[in-house]
Amino acid sequence: MFPVPVSFLFDYGVTDKEFRSFIMHEFAANGAKHLVLSNTLISEVMKELPLQKTLLKEMEAEGLSFADAHAPFGPLRDLVCPLEEVRPQMILLQKLSLRIAADMGVKTITIHIGNETHYPGCTVEQLMDCMKRSLEELLPDAEKLGITICIENIWHQVDTPERLLEVKEAFPTDALGFCYDAGHANLMDKGRNFPDSNPYKIWKDVPPKFDDRILEKMLPHVVNCHLHDNNGITDQHFNPGRGTVDWKHIVPLLKQAPRLQVIQSEVIPVRVHDSVRDICAKFRELGEL
């Protein structure tokens, strides 16, 4: 078994109220105890604040709770956003995400760093400075709310393990941690074997920093994680076992993470046609590794 709660993601963008309740029931019927407060749900709460209480009631009716969260993301919402005319709104939006998550009982939230491809006129160092400026404003709120902001490894130059560690060194507070993403790490390892993999496409003229020890480097600061599978070429978000991620290596290591609070399934069921039953069963299986 995993030593911490396991939460499950669902792509709520394709649901309405009735289907959402059905999905919650389906997860509960297959043994789940926790779901992810997703970026979609947080965005919907921002539009309609009473939805916050509605979601909590729906979850309680199924014996479920939210164990972790993912903030809204995109070029104008990510931490590296360098556009001074929108940064104040971005900071306010992320502060509101923190408040919503905390009010719904969540203790850890992943906020996207962003990536350099959206801002071709900026250097990586300039974007790193923007990220640090964003965290300077967000972390005091996180500390007051008792919630940990997590930044994750992806497959860009601004979110390698070395870059994450650079940021963590600048902010030693417990309100900042890491989200280890197994699918993204697989791309930055096995992607070296495929000329059309995401890293090669993104890094372009710069040789990608392929790495087979991403989790080992991040481990001391891993607070939550996104577990999903892929073929090493694209970010597919399959159920574990459908791709090439080495789960026998990753899961025992994750169990040793000293700050770990939650294991998250970031399998995206509707998109990849993985059933709720199969996802729940696979994560019970992973917990035994």
Long-range Cβ pairs for the range 48-55 (8 Å, 24+): 52/100, 52/103, 52/104, 55/104
pLDDT digits (tens, 9 = 90+) for 152-207: 999 999 999 999 999 999 999 999 999 999 999 999 999 999 999 999 999 988 99
Angle at which helix 87-103 crosses helix 124-145, to 10 degrees, equals: 30
Q: Which domains does the chain have, with CATH numbers?
A: 6-287 (3.20.20.150)
CA dist., res. 204 & res. 288, Å (int): 40
pLDDT digits (tens, 9 = 90+) for 66-117: 999 999 999 999 999 999 999 999 999 999 999 999 999 999 999 999 999 9
Secondary structure of 238-289 in HEC code, one letter for each residue: ECCCCCCCCHHHHHHHHCCCCCCCCEEECCCHHHHCCCHHHHHHHHHHHHCC
Q: Is 123 exposed, middle or buried (0-12, 13-18, 19+ CB in 10 A)?
A: exposed
Amino acid residing at 51: L
